[in-house]
Amino acid sequence: MSEVFLFDALREATDEEMHNNSSVFVLGEDVGHYGGSYKVTKDLHRKYGDLRVLDTPIAENSFMGMAIGAAITGLRPIVEGMNMSFLLLAFNQISNNAGMLRYTSGGNFKIPLVIRGPGGVGRQLGAEHSQRLESYFQAVPGLKIIACSTPYNAKGLLKSAIRDNNPVILFEHVLLYNLKGFIPDQEYFVPLDKAELVKKGNGLTIVTYSRMRHHVMQAVNLLEKDGYSPEVLDLISLKPIDIKSIVASLQKTNKLLIVEECMKTGGIGAEIIAQINDNYFDLLDAPIIRLSSQDIPTPYNGNLEKLTIIHPKQIIDSVKYLMS
C-alpha cells in the first residue's frame, strides 16, 4: 500500500492506462506543459509527447467534438475540464453526440470517452465555478456518471472508466484533490455501477457521495458516541443509481437519510426518493429526509457560501430526528 493524494491517484490511473494502451490520450486546456489546473496530468507530456497529452484552445464545444470523433475511430480520449462548469459550453456535444451516437448508429459506433475534472462548491470560487452538474447530465440517455470520494476509488474508477466502451463522466470535487489515502501497489479496478458500503450499521441508512461522504463520516463519528448506529453508503455511481444496494440496507434499517451537495430540485436525491417511493415504499418506517444544497447560485461571500451547503451538524440533527 502507498499513501497518495487524490490528484496523484488520478494521475497514476491515467499514466498506467496510457502505458498499457497507445490509443488512450488526454486533451483539454493546460493539460500538457502546465500539467493540468490541479496537476492530474503533471509531466505526462514529457513521457508521452504533445500529441497524446494535447493542449487545446479555450473552446470546449470544439475539443469535445474532436474527442467524440476520435472515440468513434477507435481511440480512447480522456477530456479534462479545467472546471466542470465550463463543460456546459459542450452540452450539445455531450448530450446529442456522446450520449446518442451508439444508439442512433444502430450500434455501429462505440464512444469510449471519459470526461473528468474538478467540480462542486469550492471556497469562494463564485457561482460559475461552483456548479454541481450531476443533475444537469442525469437525464441524458447513454451516459454513465460516477463521483469519486477517496484516492482509492478515484484511481480504480478512472481505470475502469477508460476501459469502458461508453461515455463516462467522472466528477471530482475541487476540495478533495489534496485528500490523502492508501491505495494498493498492484493494479486494481472499481466497478462503475456499484455503491460502496462505507460503514455497517442498523439504525438508519445514510446515502451520500463525493465530498459529502466526509461530512457524513464526521457526523457519524459523533453520533456513535451517543449510541446511534447509522449505515453509510457512498453512491459512487450516479447514473445508473445502484438502487439494489440502497434497498438491501433499507431492509435492515427502514429509515433513509440522503446527504448531497447537489441542488434539491431535480437532483440525485430526488431521483432516489422517486425510485424508493415507486417500488420500495413498504420498506420505510419514516419519511425520507433529504439534505441538499440551496437552489440558488453559490455566493462568492464566504459566510453566505457556507449557508448554501450541508454541514455535519445538520446531518446529526436529521439522524436524531429520524430516530425519534
The torsion angle over the Cα atoms of residues 176, 128, 27 and 209, rounded to 10 degrees, is 30
Torsional class of 88: left (φ above 0), alpha (ψ -120 to 50), beta (otherwise)? alpha
Catalytic residues: 60, 129
How far is residue 61's CA from residue 187's CA, in Å, rounded to a whole number?
34
Beta strands in the chain (DSSP E): 2-5, 24-28, 53-55, 76-80, 114-119, 144-147, 168-173, 180-183, 196-199, 204-208, 230-234, 237-239, 256-263, 289-293
**How far from chain centre, in Å, is Cα 6?**
13
How far is residue 274's CA from residue 323's CA, in Å, rounded to a whole number?
22
State the Cα angle at 257 between 130 and 324, rounded to 5°.
135
How far is residue 220's CA from residue 255's CA, in Å, rounded to a whole number?
15
Helix (H, G, I), strand (E, B) or coil at 246: helix
Quote the DSSP letter at residue 241: B
Which residue, among 292, 148, 314, 323, has the nearest Cα to 219 in the 3D structure?
314
CB-based burial of residue 184 (10 Å sphere; 0-12 exposed, 13-18 middle, 19+ buried)? exposed
